[in-house]
Structure 1
Amino acid sequence: MTQQTDPLLQPLQLRHLTLRNRIMSTAHAPSFQEGGHPRDRYRLYHEEKAKGGIALTMIGGSTNIAPDSPSVFGQLYAGDDSIIPWFRQLTDGVRKHGAAVMCQITHMGRRTAWDDGHWLPVLGPSGRRERAHRAFPKVMEQEDISRVIKDFAAAGERCRQGGFDGIELLSHSHLLGQFLSPLVNCREDDYGGSLDNRLRLTLQVLEAVRAAVGPDLILGMRVTGDELAEGGLSAADCIEAAQKIAATGAVDFLNVLAGAPYDDLGLAGWVAPMGMPAAPDLNVAGAIRAAVDLPVFHAGGVADIATARHAIREGQADMIGMTRAHMADPYLVQKLRQGAEERIRPCVALGYCVDRVNQGKPAVCGHNAATGREMVMPHVIAPAEVRRKVVVAGGGPAGLEAARVAAERGHQVVLFEAGSRLGGQIALAAKGMTRRQIWGVADWLICEVERLGVELRLNTYAEAEDILAEAPDAVIVATGGWPEALDMPGGHLVTSSWEVLSGEARVAGEVLLLDEVGDHAALVCADVMARMGCTVTLATPDRMAGHDLGPTNSAVVLRDLARQGVVFESLLEPVSVAAEGNRKRITLRHVLTGELQERVADHVVSEHGITPAEELYHALKPGARNLGQLDHQEMIAGRSPFAEVNPSGAYWLARAGDAVAGRNIHAAVYDALRLCKDL
């Protein structure tokens, strides 16, 4: 499609505001705030999307308006005037690149924690607890209601002074939505019972904010289109509520999503990881759009251009939120305009971004290491002044990213891979059904290195002499690692998860899966074995299976395994394995009590981590100008980490990814980016 015919590239008039296309980043909290403010890291993250051509970036996901709505996942705080100068810097920065910018504000109600911030009780329409955030709320009195209305109005005025094009009030699942939902609101006063009563607070807040910001600022609301839960708001309820909101004349758009994110699986339905349907709620947004005479935005998990284009073309929405898609590639719109849609780095729903935030960590994209690090890491790789020869050993994510970045710099790149295909451990990770789309990470990297002309040498186990024969200026060792063996009596009787996933080992019958790591690897192996017809028990010394996973990934993966009959047992570590005929007898120890117990199974499979394949690195180290060492302070600052300590050396040398230590995809690509961006 051309720019003239592509529905996604047509402008949208939102009253006096012209949005340059139909793609937006919806409000979210990446946990980049500092002191509740959107300072440089936060600003540059949103500026990058504006540079990339987005029409509208909505900042401040769940920006809190009052001290009894404390931040529990790194939100901004608009409850006092100190945020206004930071707002102004951000809005000026985004707008200079041609994008519109708005801010979302909210009171979280019960969807927060009482033991954070100022230790004030959380609020709610009723005393019903939310499982996800766990607090029992104080039932709001009329005085609380009046105060919250004033707090909304004051925060709206601060947004206006901060220079935003508009404000979005968050209803869905937060305080306003809690009053609206019969799952949460069981009041018997003027704010409970009928739909009109449950909507009363929303309309009062809307009236107060509009009065505070005046008639010219764009004002919208993120609303529920269907709670998709028994006893919750139905689609008909939500349409009626949307019509009543629109009838006030106070709002300029509605932003629609569905679901009830009151527990981990509900959150996963809202911010979907792999294993959940893609963009399942477009029809919900379309039903609201057909019922109101307002522009309708969609905020629910559209990750690809084809789906976004379909939604606009078929009239299901006027603007499409592609938030995580922009975390994967903030230059998505620019590539679309240039006719290079196939070069967009895809969001494959790793869920690493949202799960880190829910674990109290800043968001990062699982396979774009520059996202959120715009102060020190580039999204667009600058060409080098002098063309060099770069040799990469290993074709997993670290090696592929190193080759891609070095080739973008203009260097001549040769990549050695011992196997017959590229992708490394991603090929094993994609064997499971729930997480099979993880292969998209490798697929994009492979396409990029081929496009850039990287010389690929497959089926070549590179020795030091093979590397040196290339006369390299720099060598990146990304050789990954191997499964760590179980060091215990009978450890040789245990099959590694790699052997199962690669097809090297065949298992059947009853399988005891020992997971020492607590990440995805063992769970993918359990998925594969269960689908082969095995009866699988997963035992872990951790408090729970999937201990290191965040709430969305763990909920979906464990749900899918439970549906297949996989049994989870916690707080158990292996002591020994012995042959018993054709079967295995396993002794396990409770990690807290020390009590021993025995099991018998047909096979014992273990996920016990990675031992780095580091022989090549050590063989090359003496001839390196830096002896393989990296300056950590320079690396942290975003500068070249290579410093010459061996004047007789012939090349720079570094390891990346699991060749250093067993970690994950993000660590691998981050290693590669900061090693190669200045080569």
Structure 2
Amino acid sequence: MIKYQNVLNPLKVKNMILKNRIVMPPMGTNYAGQNGEINEEHIKYYEQRAKGGTGLIILENVCIDFPLGSNGTTQLRMDHDSFIPALYKLNERLHKHGANVAVQINHSGASAVSERIGCQPVSASNIPSKTGGAVPRPLEKSAILDIVEKYGKAAKRVQTAGFDAVEIHAGHSYLICQFLSPLYNNRTDEFGGSVENRARFARMVIDSVREAVGPMFPIILRFSADELLEGGNTLEDTLKILEYLNDEVDIFDVSAAVNDSLYYQIDNMNLKDGWRSYMSKAVRDKFNKPTITTGNIRNPEVAEKILAEGEADLIGMGRGLIAEPNWVKKVQSGQEDMLRKCISCNIGCAGHRIGLNRPIRCTVNPDTITEDVYKKQKVKKKTNVVVIGGGTAGLEAACTAAELGCTTFLFEQKSYLGGLAKEISKLPDKQRISDFPKYLVNRTERLDNLTIFTNTKADAKLVQNLSPDIIVNATGSKPLLPPIKGLLERIDKEGEKLYSIFGLLNNIDEFENLNVEGKKVAVIGGGAVGLDVVEYFAQKGATVSIVEMLPMLGRDLDVITKISMMDIIKKYNVDVNTSTALVEVASDHFKVKKGEEEVTIEFDYGFVCLGMRPENPGLKELQEHFGEKNVEVINIGDSARTRKIMDGVREGREITLALEKIDAI
């Protein structure tokens, strides 16, 4: 009997037959060319997911009305026939691997950025699509009809380009959503007011698309089932709206949230696998049509349960397939322990694309374009690699070296592997991070030419015995503790109530069992680590204060986490002190300077989270000892410069460059 029978079961919708129930939903990449064309790198990205067994790939949203309706720094376009040939090539490549391919057509409306499109965005009304967004121009009826026609023309190009289905985006604060949602629509004509009127534009778009593609071409409708904001559409509201949109829709792609509730759309790390499947079940039960559900689904057991219990017909796995293109293939072949699960950190994907206008990257997958192509290289001579440090950067370097045929040794001073990623995952809301070091450790266990020594401090003499050709120093970081009066003699000391992040993590079991309701917790440092501490104690009922020297909190956070953290600060009435510096530490209070004024912040538990600094005590000895021995010594990850997990993992994979340098590959 097949273990995940429902996940791997085919599904026929109109003239489209899906070989399994796993869907890659549309996610922007910033991989497109400057003029909106698809390129070879972009095709390879999707081809990896097709090779990995994905049943349906829905191409990221394409612009149907350029530049007015464009979204993102670079976005694929479908507003002209000139884009058809390259997209046809994409479909040829993906179809070879048995994947079906759809594409999402979209008009961004008020979510367009004025500076990018060169004019004022448009919308249902003059209401911005997010807090602080541009004020849009309300569309006149003639312009609405023109956009409806453009949707139909774009859909015809979709069909001509060889796609198997078309998806209409009616959620996530884009133009159709701006008509559907009372958050954005205050019109008084036939496109505003009642549910039927607010649904009119979407109805006209669906009809235009159906007329263009004919009766047997599947139409998917994506929408925000619950906008999860006060005054927005609830699930019950959306079910009423869909009564007007049901005809001619073949699959409902059930999403959630809008721009100001973005962390429910691009799910926060602490949201459980499949948390929003109840929404797709409600739609499925009412309309008896196939539904797609999404929401942090990483584990095949969860996907199987959702399908078996009738909560959805298809499982959307977005960031999960960025991290693990071979999800289906590994599940089919019983390699679940080798699933490189997305940890929902949102740094390389949403953070890069939305926050920084960069092409997407991934914390756990150092190559989202060609993934395992590095394995085709093999060392052409005996090569010994020694890695010092068993965190995520060191583990990636060691695994990569061993996979290329190097005789590899890894030393870790602690009794366990995983480094800071394993440590930080002790926080309840960060538990998902632990999936990554688990995967790396599982990967090491499949490599016979990789030997691991824990509880072992490596020095130059020990390393010399292994005749290394390459030495990788990946010894990580430790908390930055400046010489502030009273700090060093109190922090993490017995009898004191002052902790670094490691002090908290090392005593997490005690804090989990501690009633801190009403207790005063003060946190110095408003970066990622400090805000993690704020989140932890605020949710446990403590009265929390935070101090940050910069004029803002969360400067180093990705956009999703930042929005979420600011909501937590507001929800739990956290006392925020920005542009404030720590000047002295006592056993029960901090002295801080706010402008010219010194202020005392009392605490029952104090935390100093001023960032991390590289920890590489043996690096100089290694460099001096092996400097004249023709041995390549490289320093990676936090031991080189404290950054994100993503940076260290990428540098771990880049051991291939060191192997090239010594002519080993």
Query: TM-score scaled to structure 2, two decimals?
Result: 0.88
CA RMSD, Structure 1 to Structure 2 (Å): 2.8
Out of 605, 612, 615, which is 1:613 matched to? 615
Contact 2:273–2:299, Cα closer than 8 Å, also in 1: no
Which position in structure 2 is the counterpart of 1:568? 576
Which position in structure 1 is the counterpart of 2:41? 41
- Rounded Cα–Cα distance in structure 2 between residues aligned with 1:274 and 1:85: 39
Q: Which runs of 5+ in 1 are unaligned?
A: 628-645
Contact 1:220–1:252, Cα closer than 8 Å, also in 2: yes
Residue by residue over 1:168-220, the C-alpha shift from the partner in whole angstroms, topping out at 9 and shown as x without a partner, is 11011322222122332222221123322222211211222222334454322
Structure 1 counterpart of 2:455, one-letter code: N
SS in 2 for 1:421: coil
CA 1:123–1:534: 2 relative to 1, 3 Å: closer
Which position in structure 2 is the counterpart of 1:669? 649
- Rounded Cα–Cα distance in structure 1 between residues aligned with 2:179 and 2:74: 24
1:252 aligned to 2:259? no
Contact 1:428–1:498, Cα closer than 8 Å, also in 2: no
Pairing of 1:558-637 with structure 2 (within 5 A): 558-560=566-568, 566-574=574-582, 576-577=583-584, 582-584=587-589, 586-590=591-595, 595-602=596-603, 605-622=607-624, 624=626
- Rounded Cα–Cα distance in structure 1 between residues aligned with 2:530 and 2:21: 41
Give 1:133 shift: 6.3
CA 1:433–1:545: 2 relative to 1, 3 Å: farther
CA 1:312–1:24: 2 relative to 1, 3 Å: same
Contact 1:398–1:671, Cα closer than 8 Å, also in 2: yes
Give 1:228 shift: 4.3
SS in 2 for 1:59: strand
Which position in structure 2 is the counterpart of 1:354? 350
- Rounded Cα–Cα distance in structure 2 between residues aligned with 1:623 and 1:485: 30
Give 1:335 shift: 0.5
CA 1:537–1:160: 2 relative to 1, 3 Å: same
Residue by residue over 1:222-274, the C-alpha shift from the partner in whole angstroms, topping out at 9 and shown as x without a partner, is 13333344443343443343344332xx333221123x3130xx111111121
Which position in structure 2 is the counterpart of 1:280? 275
Out of 308, 321, 327, which is 1:326 matched to? 321
- Rounded Cα–Cα distance in structure 1 between residues aligned with 2:436 and 2:645: 9
SS in 2 for 1:451: coil
- Rounded Cα–Cα distance in structure 2 between residues aligned with 1:462 and 1:604: 35
- Rounded Cα–Cα distance in structure 1 between residues aligned with 2:377 and 2:37: 31
Residue by residue over 1:322-344, the C-alpha shift from the partner in whole angstroms, topping out at 9 and shown as x without a partner, is 11111111011111111112211
Residue by residue over 1:427-478, the C-alpha shift from the partner in whole angstroms, topping out at 9 and shown as x without a partner, is 3312322223212221221222133243221111111111111222322111
Pairing of 1:250-649 with structure 2 (within 5 A): 250-258=248-256, 260-263=257-260, 266-352=261-347, 353-359=349-355, 360-371=357-368, 373-374=369-370, 378=373, 383-386=378-381, 388-453=383-448, 454-488=450-484, 492=488, 495=491, 497-503=500-506, 510=520, 512-515=522-525, 519-528=527-536, 535-560=543-568, 566-574=574-582, 576-577=583-584, 582-584=587-589, 586-590=591-595, 595-602=596-603, 605-622=607-624, 624=626, 648-649=629-630
SS in 1 for 2:618: helix
CA 1:17–1:70: 2 relative to 1, 3 Å: closer
Structure 1 counterpart of 2:623, one-letter code: K
Contact 2:68–2:112, Cα closer than 8 Å, also in 1: no
- Rounded Cα–Cα distance in structure 2 between residues aligned with 1:423 and 1:127: 50
- Rounded Cα–Cα distance in structure 1 between residues aligned with 2:169 and 2:280: 16
More deviation, 416-425/376-385 = 376-385
- Rounded Cα–Cα distance in structure 2 between residues aligned with 1:107 and 1:73: 15
Query: TM-score scaled to structure 1, two decimals?
Result: 0.87
CA 1:380–1:254: 2 relative to 1, 3 Å: farther
- Rounded Cα–Cα distance in structure 2 between residues aligned with 1:596 and 1:210: 67
Give 1:546 shift: 1.3
SS in 1 for 2:209: helix
1:117 aligned to 2:127? no
- Rounded Cα–Cα distance in structure 2 between residues aligned with 1:273 and 1:283: 18
Give 1:76 shift: 2.1
CA 1:446–1:558: 2 relative to 1, 3 Å: farther
Give 1:379 shift: 7.3
Out of 608, 622, 633, which is 1:653 matched to? 633
Contact 1:64–1:71, Cα closer than 8 Å, also in 2: no
Give 1:528 shift: 5.0
Give 1:315 shift: 2.0
- Rounded Cα–Cα distance in structure 2 between residues aligned with 1:201 and 1:533: 46
- Rounded Cα–Cα distance in structure 1 between residues aligned with 2:374 and 2:318: 16
Q: Which runs of 5+ in 2 are unaligned?
A: 492-498, 660-664
More deviation, 348-357/325-334 = 348-357
Residue by residue over 1:340-380, the C-alpha shift from the partner in whole angstroms, topping out at 9 and shown as x without a partner, is 12211112211222222220222222211112x43x87375
- Rounded Cα–Cα distance in structure 1 between residues aligned with 2:461 and 2:26: 53
Residue by residue over 1:512-568, the C-alpha shift from the partner in whole angstroms, topping out at 9 and shown as x without a partner, is 4322xx542222233456678865421112232212212321233344455555422
- Rounded Cα–Cα distance in structure 2 between residues aligned with 1:469 and 1:146: 76
1:207 aligned to 2:207? yes
- Rounded Cα–Cα distance in structure 2 between residues aligned with 1:315 and 1:364: 34
- Rounded Cα–Cα distance in structure 2 between residues aligned with 1:219 and 1:135: 31
